[in-house]
């Protein structure tokens, strides 16, 4: 699958910060059961790569990616863990080179028109607007639509269930990234039914 194929699987990609490895599998099962099979596990905790391995082994219906790729070495580590796609908060020549060597597709982050141009020149036409709210949100995406008609975006950062429909209504937005699907309160309580309910609610945004 390429990034556009992954975009088409669900209207929301949960952005996950997993502190406890034991949470990985039940979290993936809950999100998939709620209709959100595409999962981004951010490399912000020591257990992130092990969480990806666990999800891939136990939840085959999930499409598990790795987020917060910021160094070329991250790509090799993510690949070894079984990541099926990667996400970066920005894009540099070094990350472009690493992405072209990786076996999984990359969703690179951009914030400005110049960064969109650089990403397109590097061969990327599916991009993450990040951080979406600080980058101008809806107004920025509308402004980018005309000069970059071939680009699809997954805005991420500051988006909530309440604001997601406005983003998803834009023709150049394929999906959104959201951290509200796995709040710390529910994770800490092991409330997988509550997380599944949030996922089901988010999955219905496409309807």
Q: Indicate which residue of 19, 94, 128, 162 is catalytic.
A: 128
Tens-level pLDDT at each residue, the chain (207 residues): 999 999 999 999 999 999 999 999 999 999 999 999 999 999 999 999 999 999 999 999 999 999 999 999 999 999 999 999 999 999 999 999 999 999 999 999 999 999 999 999 999 999 999 999 999 999 999 999 999 999 999 999 999 999 999 999 999 999 999 999 999 999 999 999 999 999 999 999 985
Of 113, 118, 58, 124, residue with least CA distance to 86: 124
Q: Is the Cβ–Cβ distance between 151 and 3 less than 8 Å?
A: no
How far is Cα 166 from Cα 138, in angstroms, rounded to an integer?
A: 8
**Domain extent at residue 187:** 3-206
Is residue 79 flagged as an active site residue?
no
Is residue 128 flagged as an active site residue?
yes
Q: What is the pLDDT of residue 181?
A: 98
Domain count, the chain: 1
Give the CATH number, domain containing residue 131: 3.20.20.70
How far is Cα 51 from Cα 33, in angstroms, rounded to an integer?
A: 18
Could you please report the per-residue DSSP string of 34-97? Answer: TT--EEEEETTSTTHHHHHHHHHHH-TT-EEEEE---SHHHHHHHHHHT-SEEE-SS--HHHHH
Q: What is the pTM (predicted TM-score) of this model?
A: 0.96
Q: Indicate which residue of 40, 94, 162, 196 is catalytic.
A: 40
Q: What is the pLDDT of residue 93?
A: 97
């Amino acid at each position: 699958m390429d990034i556009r194929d992954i975009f088409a699987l669900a209207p929301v990609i949960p952005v996950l910060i997993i502190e406890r490895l034991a949470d990985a599998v039940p979290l993936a099962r809950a999100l998939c059961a709620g209709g959100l099979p595409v999962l981004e596990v951010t490399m912000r905790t020591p257990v992130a790569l092990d969480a990806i391995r666990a999800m891939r082994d136990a939840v085959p219906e999930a499409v598990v990616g790795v987020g917060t790729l910021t160094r070329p070495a991250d790509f090799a580590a993510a690949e070894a863990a079984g990541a099926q796609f990667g996400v970066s908060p920005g894009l540099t020549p070094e990350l472009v080179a690493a992405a072209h060597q990786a076996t999984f597709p990359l969703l690179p982050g951009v914030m400005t028109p110049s960064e969109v141009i650089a990403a397109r020149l590097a061969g990327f036409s599916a991009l993450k607007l990040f951080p979406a709210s600080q980058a101008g949100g809806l107004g920025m995406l509308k402004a980018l639509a005309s000069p970059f008609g071939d680009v699809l975006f997954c805005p991420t950062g500051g988006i909530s269930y309440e604001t997601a429909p406005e983003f998803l209504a834009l023709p150049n937005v394929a999906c959104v990234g959201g951290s509200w699907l796995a709040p710390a309160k529910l994770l800490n309580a092991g409330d997988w039914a509550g997380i599944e309910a949030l996922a089901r609610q988010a999955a219905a945004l496409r309807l």
